[in-house]
Structures are given as C-alpha cells and as structure tokens.
C-alpha cells in the first residue's frame, strides 16, 4: 500500500513517526502495569507472579515474531509490511478488550505480539536505509528519546483508564492510538527500500541473509550484549508493580515513580544524540557498559545488606535505566552497520535475538522475585559483566575504537 501522493518527509518527522510506531509496543506493555492485579482478579487468577504473564508472553511473542517482517520488507517494501503490522495490532487490541478468561487473553497477547513485531523491526531498517555510521546512531538515540515518552506516561494513562472506565478500555485506547498512527504512516511515509536492494522471497536467499548476520563477528557481540542488558530491564518491568507498589509501599504512586525512572532513559537518549557524532557510538556505549557494572555492584551490595529502602533503590535503578539508554541505540547502530543491502533481514534477526533472549531471561528474573530487590540486582550485575565480555569478543579485545568516519553522510534521501 502506498500513500495517495508522493511526499517529502523531513528528518524530524521521520524520526518522530518511527519512534511512536515502535512505542505502540511499549504502550501494550507499560499501560498494563497498573491493571495487572485487577485484571488477574477479574479473570480468576490468584497467583501473585502469574499476573506477570500478561507482560511476559508479549515479550516472547515479539521475539518470535521478529524473524519474519524484515525479510518480507526486503521483498515487498517497508511501508506495506509496517501497515500490515499495525492492522494486526489494532484488531488484536479490540479482541483483548473482549477476552473472557485469562488463557484466552494470554493467547491473544501472543498473537498480537507475533503479528505486530514489525513495529519493532522496521523502524531500524528504515533508518538504516537512509543513514549510516554515527549519524545513524544519533537518529536512533533521538528515536529512543521520543520512544521513551510512552513508557513515561503509559502507566499513568493506564491507571487513568482503569479508574474511570475499567481495564478493558486500556486495550480500546491501544486500538484507537494504533488507528491514528496507521493514518499518519499511510499518508506521510514514503517507501525507503531502494529498488535495486529488493531481495528474493526464496527461502534459501532469506536463510543465507540471516545466516550472514549471526556469523558476522563485528555485529554478533553487540546483538547479544544489548539482549542481556535488555533482559535486566525487562525483568524489572515484569516485577516492577510488585517491587515498587507493594514491597516498597508506593501503592498508587507507582505509575509516577515508574514514569520518573523511565524518563532517565529518555534523558540518556537525548544526551547520546548530542554527543555520539562527536565521540563515536563505540566510545560512548563502551563507557556506558563500564559505568553500568559499577552501579550494579552498588545495587548488589545494598540489596544484600538488608533493609534496603526505596530511596536507596530508586536512584540507582533509574541510573541503570539511563545507562541502558546509552547502550541500546548505539549497540543497535553498530550491529546494523555492515548490512546496507539486507537491512530488513538483519534488523529482523537482530531483533529476534535481542527480544527472544531478553524475554526468556527477563521472565526468569521476574519469576525469581522474592519480595526483595536481590534477584534484580544480581541480574543487573550479571548483565553488565556478560555484555562487556561480548563486546570484547566483537572488538577482538579492544575498546573505544572508532571504525567509521565522524559525521557519516546520509546514504540517500
């Protein structure tokens, strides 16, 4: 499907559009958080940790679904596949609002995540179509900053809808926002896939393109490194309502606390967008990993010391989330850099590895919740150390190198 007339899309509008498209999946996660207890009670679920499955199965779904949309977009174009993903998101949001038992809700959440995985995969491929190098990293950071507006406000939106209309209307809100987003993309987004880069839909060609991604050493360490850092963040999201609202006693202040912590990732993305072209994606992200390890060590000490207070936990967790903001966008840009001709397939494989790994580890972290912050703090430290080792593998033992020119030019407009 194409827009009704040719359009010229500016850089700022493109970044905003792609960021908000990606953020629809964050909305599908974070808007649920205040409603998990009520939702589980209404659908007959008593287990404290089982309520997390509404979030966890969505993480699994977007991980598994990430493999397909990039390959399809390399053949049929970015815009068509992106609009198809949006359509599935809208329809399944309405279906979730009508679910009458917990199992059906979980099945629909999986279908929603599988079908809408293109919302996560394709924005990165579209940016790679048009930019490269540190400039690509800068734009990914700007996308991250705009993207984080949604996790900052989604819990508050969710709680507002929950209190006034009930939890089912949270899904209705998701569907309505998805429709508005689809209209914007249909009318304004041009096709960015270069005609000469269109790939065959043959299974052998797709498999070959995907195999290249996982066998490229300079990329694979960054893919798994970002997955490990993401898993700690997702583990926190899975258990955040129990940890912050219940263990630390924040109650109805939970959405505001969560939003304030998420704002640290938005701030980090903004700062990264201002400095990455000057210092380079590798230098900035490698520094971020080292500081992440130090902060995580402090988290472990405080949580195992006993009697950790909210005011000891919150600033350090917010700092961890901010550092993850410096790591994620830069790692994604570094990992995509070698794949100009197969950016769709590369984005799909990389998103699959990141999200599938993070979904499994994040669910394990969430289910390990024991009424304290100890399991989470251990996971943060493990994630930081593992990420450093993975980066060292990709960089052949050297950190802080700059491997492409400063201010790399736009690939094409």
Tens of pLDDT, residues 362-412: 888 888 888 888 899 999 999 999 999 999 999 988 888 765 544 443 343
Six-digit token string for 193:
């896939």
Position 6 pLDDT exceeds 60 = no
Longest dimension (CA), the chain: 63
DSSP 198: P
CATH number of the domain within which 172 lies: 1.20.1250.20
Cα distances (angstroms) measured from residue 163 to each of 151, 253, 318: 19, 14, 27
Q: How confident is the model at residue 174 (pLDDT cuts 50, 70, 90)?
A: very high
For 250, the domain range is 11-190+209-394
The predicted pLDDT at position 409 comes to 38
The predicted pLDDT at position 133 comes to 67
Cα angle for residues 151, 373, 378 (degrees, 5° grid): 100
Within a domain: 213 = yes
Q: What is the pTM of this model?
A: 0.69
Phi, psi of 259, rounded to the nearest 5 degrees: -65, -40
Nearest to 171 by CA among 258, 253, 58: 58
* Whole-number Å distance between alpha carbons of 151 and 55: 14
Q: Considering the chain, what percentage of its residues have pLDDT values greater than 70?
A: 90
Within a domain: 409 = no
Within a domain: 195 = no
pLDDT in tens, 18-31: 989 988 988 998 89
Split into its structural domains, the chain has a count of 1
Q: Which residue is associated with the tokens 């964050």?
A: 26
Contact of 289 with 327, CB cutoff 8 Å: yes
Within a domain: 71 = yes
Within a domain: 340 = yes
Contact of 9 with 129, CB cutoff 8 Å: no
* Whole-number Å distance between alpha carbons of 315 and 65: 34
CB count in 10 Å sphere of residue 378: 18
Contact of 147 with 262, CB cutoff 8 Å: no
* Whole-number Å distance between alpha carbons of 360 and 355: 8
Six-digit token string for 344:
């769709």
DSSP 408: P
Within a domain: 97 = yes
Q: How confident is the model at residue 5 (pLDDT cuts 50, 70, 90)?
A: very low
The predicted pLDDT at position 412 comes to 38
Total residues belonging to the chain: 413
Q: Which residue is associated with the tokens 């914007």?
A: 184
pLDDT in tens, 47-65: 767 877 888 888 888 878 8
Within a domain: 41 = yes
């Amino acid at each position: 499907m194409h827009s009704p007339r040719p359009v010229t899309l500016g850089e700022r509008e493109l970044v905003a559009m792609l960021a908000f498209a990606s953020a629809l999946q964050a909305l599908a996660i974070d808007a649920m958080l205040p409603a998990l207890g009520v939702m589980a009670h209404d659908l007959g679920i008593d287990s404290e940790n089982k309520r997390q499955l509404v979030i966890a199965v969505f993480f699994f779904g977007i991980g598994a679904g990430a493999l397909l949309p990039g390959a399809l977009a390399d053949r049929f174009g970015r815009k068509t596949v992106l609009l198809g993903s949006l359509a599935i998101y809208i329809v399944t949001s309405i279906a979730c609002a009508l679910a009458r038992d917990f199992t059906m809700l979980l099945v629909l959440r999986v279908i929603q995540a599988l079908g809408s995985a293109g919302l996560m995969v394709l924005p990165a491929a579209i940016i790679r179509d048009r930019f490269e190098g540190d400039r690509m990293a800068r734009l990914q950071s700007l996308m991250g900053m705009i993207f984080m507006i949604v996790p900052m406000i989604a819990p508050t939106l969710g709680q507002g809808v929950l209190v006034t209309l009930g939890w089912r209307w949270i899904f209705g809100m998701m569907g309505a926002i998805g429709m508005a987003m689809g209209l914007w993309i249909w009318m304004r987004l041009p096709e960015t896939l270069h005609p000469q880069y269109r790939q065959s839909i043959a299974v052998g060609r797709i498999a070959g393109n995907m195999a290249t991604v996982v066998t490229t050493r300079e990329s694979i360490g960054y893919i798994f490194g970002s997955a490990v850092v993401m898993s700690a963040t997702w583990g926190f999201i899975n258990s955040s309502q129990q940890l912050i609202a219940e263990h630390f006693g924040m109650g109805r202040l939970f959405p505001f606390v969560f939003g304030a912590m998420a704002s640290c990732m938005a701030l980090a993305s903004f700062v990264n967008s201002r400095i990455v072209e000057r210092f380079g994606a590798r230098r900035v992200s490698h520094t971020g990993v080292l500081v992440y390890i130090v902060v995580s060590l402090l988290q472990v000490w405080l949580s195992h010391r006993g009697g950790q207070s909210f005011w000891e936990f919150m600033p350090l967790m917010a700092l961890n989330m901010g550092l993850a903001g410096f790591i994620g966008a830069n790692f994604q840009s570094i990992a995509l850099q070698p794949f100009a001709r197969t950016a769709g397939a590369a984005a799909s494989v990389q998103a699959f590895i990141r999200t599938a790994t993070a979904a499994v580890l994040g669910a394990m972290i969430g289910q390990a919740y024991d009424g304290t912050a100890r399991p989470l703090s251990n996971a943060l430290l493990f994630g930081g150390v593992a990420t450093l080792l993975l980066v060292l593998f990709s960089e052949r033992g050297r950190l802080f190198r700059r491997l492409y020119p400063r201010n790399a030019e736009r690939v094409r407009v």
